[in-house]
Amino acid sequence: MNELFLFVRPPRPLWPFNSPASAFWPPLAFASMAAMLRQHHQNLRVEILDAPALTMGWRTLEAEIRRRQPAFVGIGEEAVSCVEGLRLARLAKACGATVIAGGCFFGNVAPEALQTGLIDFVVHGEGEVTLVELVARLRERASEALPNVNGISFLRESEVVTTPPRPLVEDLDSLPLPAYDLLPVDRYGAGSRNHQRLAAIELGRGCFGACDFCVLWRQMGRWAGNKLLPRLRVKSPERLLEEVRVLVRRYDRRYLGWVDPCFNADPEVPGQLAELLLRENLHVGQSAWARADALVRDAHSGALRSCVQSGLNEMYLGIERPDSLSVAALHKTSGVEHARAALKILREQFPEVLTVGSFIYGLPGDTVATVRAIHRLTFELELDQFFFIPLTPLPGTPGWRPELWDPSGERFRQFNFLPTGRPHGRYAALERALLLSLLLNWPAARWRAWSRQLFAPNSRKQRVHRRLALRAVSFHLRRLLGMFAGDDPTGGLVFPTWYEN
Ligand code: B12
Ligand code: SF4
């Protein structure tokens, strides 16, 4: 029988603000690389095992991997699931598989990950072409040719070899359609009220921005000599229309989560796609991360109207900070004034769109007054929801230092984009002030914001708001208790009952 390449997403805890019914999105990276492997390796079997989507815990996963006997196992994790990534690698190696890791976490900790002895190859940056080449060399048993495969790291006699970076795929339309048929498509968003029959889709890759804290522009950046530069690539509207058609008509998907770091970075394609969708009468709910400055631009061009008419109804904006100076210090070029303008447009012209803002705290020099100012800004901006994210030293960003590596992976549980809840340490005073402000600071603007949200005329928006608000209250109360009770090993994540099953 032909060899098997098995992509595996192992069991993991849930982010506490997500509903269990829509906390797991289709792993698009795996589907995209699987399609590419199938196209280029006709005599290779390719499968994806998405354990969380199947509510499959570790015991069943282990049995399943033993049963399938893969020659290669592909893994790719967020930092927060490093524990699970390494556990999976150990399991795969015990079954005799070659373990290949990639994505925005492993790609930035290659030497450390390889030294664990659990991972054989790390793929850096964009995966499709590199993986096809790497698998070809491995199947030919041509180990002397491995240094010619660009974009990988591996160990040779305990030395880490890192090959030159892989150039980006110039034309994203040239990629095959993601292998949705290898995913348990029906499971995503099943039972979800607000994101029913969810699918993940990408308009493009990378970003034109180069914000300090962000790993996303780097993951899909362009190397010019030793320098990594931001690079935005987008698919054509026609190709995207085809993807939406397949998802909606063949796979009966009803909600699309755009996975782009910045959906509206390109001034043309989102609007052009929306026009095509409207012309075909394809109305489908959509959520996206967007930049506020680009949103204002698209409101003027009319592109935003088309996007909303075609179904865009949740917009996530990285507003980050309460003042222009500290936004600029992060090298973010979309500022607070853009956020004010963007939210005014959404409120007045597109009240059906749910708006969620995210904010960063923990920059050098941040004080209790800074976090209070951030909280105040959330209701001045009349956001529907907001998240406060501690500045996180993600591998690949300037905050990362190799001494933060933890071979057990446990330390990365704290890379969860949640308030740490620690009674002591760098963020403790800021988080206490934030919690107190959340609980006690109720000026008129906040009451107005709440009553507007609770009685919003749009029932979907009202529903999403209520659920998010309930989860937020429960999370912050638990965090408050935690501050007195001591360290919480789960880091605030929610372990599902099936985790070990
Ligand atoms: C969809 C998504 C979610 C969904 C679904 C998560 C899920 N587990 O199902 C939701 C919203 C629930 C979510 C939650 C969280 N997420 Co999230 N999420 C994403 C998002 C937007 C899309 C991922 C995606 O499909 N990308 C498209 C694919 C095509 O790109 P790609 O993953 O980079 O893959 C390419 C390469 O990297 C490489 N590659 C990737 N994997 C592999 C594997 C192999 C073997 C190889 C060879 C190559 C390879 O090749 C691929 C194709 O070229 C990314 C941001 C982003 N745009 O990537 C964040 C992102 C992955 N999330 C992130 C985080 C931090 C989280 C949370 C911890 C907090 C939060 N809410 O944001 C939680 C954790 C949830 C959990 N327990 O799983 C961070 C991870 C940072 C890091 N280095 O750890 C990211 C990068 C966003 C960010 N702001 O930085 N997330
Ligand atoms: S605008 Fe958003 S996606 Fe782009 S670099 Fe900045 S944080 Fe990253």
Residue 254 main-chain phi, psi, to 5 deg? -120, -5
Instruction: Determine the pLDDT at residue 475.
Output: 81
Is the model's pLDDT at 386 over the cut of 70? yes
Whether 74 is in the pocket of ligand 1, judged by its Cβ within 6 Å, is: yes
Is the model's pLDDT at 467 over the cut of 70? yes
Distance 261 CA to ligand 2 centre (A): 6
Whether 219 is in the pocket of ligand 1, judged by its Cβ within 6 Å, is: yes
Distance 451 CA to ligand 2 centre (A): 32
Instruction: Determine the pLDDT at residue 444.
Output: 86
Distance 218 CA to ligand 1 centre (A): 13
Instruction: Determine the pLDDT at residue 18.
Output: 86
Whether 318 is in the pocket of ligand 2, judged by its Cβ within 6 Å, is: yes
Ligand nearest to the CA of residue 320, numbered in listed order: 2
Average pLDDT, the chain: 93
Residue in 217, 266, 360 to alter for ligand 2 test, most ligand atoms within 8 A of Cβ: 217
Is the model's pLDDT at 477 over the cut of 90? no
Q: Which residues pair with 385 in a beta bridge?
A: 356
Q: pTM for the full model?
A: 0.96
Counting from 1 in the atom list of ligand 1, the atom nearest the Cα of 260 is 57
b/e sequence 25-53, b meaning 16+ C-beta within 10 Å: bbbbbbbbbbbbbbebbeebbbebbbbbb
Largest separation between any pair of C-alpha atoms in the chain: 69
Q: Distance of CA 353 to CAs 10, 296, 379, 425, Å?
A: 34, 15, 17, 38
In the structure encoding, which two tokens stand for residue 182, read together?
Answer: 């290898």
Whether 99 is in the pocket of ligand 1, judged by its Cβ within 6 Å, is: no
Distance 210 CA to ligand 2 centre (A): 6
pLDDT range class, residue 341, cuts 50, 70, 90: very high
